[in-house]
Chains A and B, each alone.
Chain A
Amino acid sequence: MGLVNQIKYLTLYKIIGTAVISRQTRKSLRHYRLPRGWREDILAPPLRIGAYTQQMIAKHYLEGRYVNGVKPVAWVTSGAPIEILKALGYYILYPENHGALCGARKVAQEISEEAERDGYSIDICSYARTDIGTALSGKTPVGKLPKPDLLLCCTNICQTVLYWYRVLADYYEVPLIVIDTPFVYEEANDHDIKYVKRQLESSIEVSEGIAGRSLNFKRLKEVVRASKDAADLWLQCLKANRRKPAPISVFDQFIHMAPIVEKRGDPETVDFYARMLAEINRRVENGVGAVKHERKRVLWDNLPIWYRIRFLSESLAEHGVAVVASTYTNAWGELAPLMDVERPVESMAKTYTYPILNRGTGHKLRTMESMIKAYSLNGAILHSDRSCKPYSIGQMDQRLKLLNERGIPALLLEADHNDPRAFAGEQAVSRLKAFVEMMEA
């Protein structure tokens, strides 16, 4: 069995699969074509790095198809401290990213309904429903997901993930490591960080046991270095949008953030973002904006609406509105300075306690305010995400504060990041129109 898996992995993924995907990438770069129906009149062409983004995602999921029995497999939450697992050679799958992919490919509803038929409420996070739906039915647009040998859940994005991973642990009958990160209302206490650090330390033994090898601290430092470098480059890509016109839109960022989430800690991710930054810089030098005729610049708060990215991008670009900054994409870069390669575990404890989603509603408002200033923004769209209560709660006050105390037009857009049943297209269009008028008034 082990040998058969090894051979399949080697031939179907390593040799044939990788070669086919790389050839496709080269081909699509050589014969670059705009996506069908692309609105050239209002939008710059997609970044060419997109071919590599697709390549990385395709390779990642292709590896997943053949990886069971070859490498240990961990399913992890998006904000989980994965560096230890990476250093131990795990293949890491992010169910939230898979959920996002299902959303973007417009199959999330169908898969979620599998979970709903099994009794899961439509009120729970749609990523969780998509993931549980995949577990129950096997449905996925990527062919097949590997089974986990280990689950790693970090509560630094929400408590939802904990209940969700309890369900997965029960379903797959595999160990679950919980890294519980106390919520930071103001500043983290010493005992909070110590608690997280102790949990990280005790997670090492369990992870080693499943991987069948010991953690090499030199390797861990290399992984932390790669994580930090990639996050840092990602942040530089985002910061390029401080220029006018903004070279990439937040909708582009949503697409190109996949590697920083699911390939964090890999040297190829560092290379990828270095290339992306170079392409963005070329746009800056040439004065190319993601939105042609950029007139207004706005902030996006909360998760993307995966199944309507293009629709929203076009609806706003039609009015010369560029969405140039986002609290969500920023979250993957803003903590890079906290990572200390020489003190990996200590610094991971701090870094992973401080993501925006683990911080108070006031902190989020201050983040928005400083981004509005740094990126010279004219307004803010707050996606009120029915599925993501921790990110959405507080938005009503944040919106009023932006509006009344900063004079920043702010729109609360009701939707759900993965479930199209919670999105009213026509209503969204008219609300966006009214928002644009408000910015122009």
Chain B
Amino acid sequence: MPPIKIPSRKEVIQREKSSGKDVAAIYPIHYPRELFRAFDVHPVEVWGPPGVDTKMGSAHLQSYICSVVQSGLSFYLEGGLKEVKLILVPHCCDSLQGLGSIFKDFVKPGQEVLTLYIPRGITEESVRFLSDEIEKLYKSLARVTGRAPARERLMEEILLEEETDALVKDFYAGRKKTPLSSREFYAIIRAREYLPPRDYARLLQIAPRQSPESGPPGRVGIIVSGLLPEPMEILDVIDEAGGFVVADDLACCMRRVYGKGAAENPFKRMAERIVQGPPDSTKGGSVDEISVSLTGLTEATGARGVIFYNVKFCEPEDFYRPMLKKRLQNKGIKTLTLEADINQPLSQQAITRVRAFIEMLKGEA
């Protein structure tokens, strides 16, 4: 099968800019993509990126701050965001809160830095608050861009995102039958971080879906849980060891496949989608909510093991993990915890542990 050509971030940014659009750099995790699009602002997400020299960021951040934030700041400081018109730092954890604050108070980029507070918990109150917060973001975008998209335009973009979410869900649902390696599958999933929705939908359409010889005979279904699958090498290691990533519980992937909103008011609808979306440690849901979702995912996909792929110093994940492990183990699901720094290659020890983990699962089959 010929590999699918996915345009790079750089290519997409150039193309969007030359078509007259502004580009916004978006830090993790939750935000309404559709709002930016309605302003003709193309959102490109900055998950690290991995492999950045974090020396520049370390002049502002202590070593016990996670590598996602270290890289995110370093990337800006070394000129990686020169092309963007504005920066959004959603408030998803204490470290991102600090990043947003350091940007605003000390680094003071030439571009506007906007923030978005994501409320904790799923309540009517949190929807109402986030709706107000998104409306505030609307006003900031209007100020920065000089545009003021009408309700219809907002709804148009919301519906497009909802459609895209449905396509992504569908793509996940067919995962077991795709002939794609785990790395290829996640390259496609993650291309949503920077592709416009129509291009992304096209990519999902051309991605191979069915293959008689695909699927996992003899392969062990694995779920990867955490913030992001970086370094992505882990996916290769899983496949090489005889595993197969059947689904994920990753903040940058499945935890952001939101459902449809119900409200007629566009701000409220965007808020509903985020608040009522899949559980995520950074949204501070109950242990039950998160564990029911994760154990449900293992049951639905037939996964036999869960790998917690944890970014070192990521507190939101660190708190929930012990409880989640217990719940999974009670259901007979084996777990493995790996600690990663998105700027460091996967250690030999980690590789050996993944191999041993999958061997063990195979042995039990």
Contact = CB atoms under 8 A, between A and B. Distances in A.
A155 interface: yes
A338 interface: no
B76 interface: no
Q: How large is the interface on A (under 10, 10 to 19, 20 to 34, 35 or more residues)?
A: 35 or more
Given A119-B325, A191-B132, A389 B315 contact: yes
Contacts of B61: 393, 396
Contact of A365 (B95, B105, B285): B105
A191 B135 CA distance: 11
A166 B284 contact: yes
Interface in A162-187: 162-164, 166-167, 169-170, 176, 178, 180, 182-183, 185-186
A162 B120 contact: yes
Interface in A342-384: 360-362, 365, 384
B323 A167 contact: yes
Interface string B289-300: 000000000000
Contacts of A284: none
Nearest to B121: A178
A124 B322 CA distance: 12
Contact of B125 (A118, A186, A195): A195
A397 B120 CA distance: 29
Contact of A396 (B60, B136, B282, B325): B60
Contacts of A189: 132, 136
Given A185-B101, A389-B64, A164 B319 contact: yes
Contacts of A178: 120-121, 284
A394 interface: yes
Interface string B261-291: 0000000000000000000011011111000
Given A162-B284, A167-B323, A365-B105, A123 B64 contact: yes
A386 interface: yes
Interface in A129-176: 155, 158-160, 162-164, 166-167, 169-170, 176
Contacts of A182: 91, 117, 119, 129, 133
B119 to A, nearest CB: 6
Contact of B316 (A163, A384, A393): A163
A389 B98 contact: yes
B94 interface: yes
Interface of A: 118-121, 123-125, 128, 155, 158-160, 162-164, 166-167, 169-170, 176, 178, 180, 182-183, 185-186, 189, 191-192, 195, 198-199, 202, 360-362, 365, 384, 386, 389-390, 392-397, 401, 414
The 8 closest A-B pairs by CB, nearest first: A393-B98, A362-B105, A119-B322, A163-B319, A191-B132, A397-B106, A170-B287, A195-B129
6 contacts: A163-B319, A182-B129, A185-B104, A191-B132, A195-B132, A393-B94
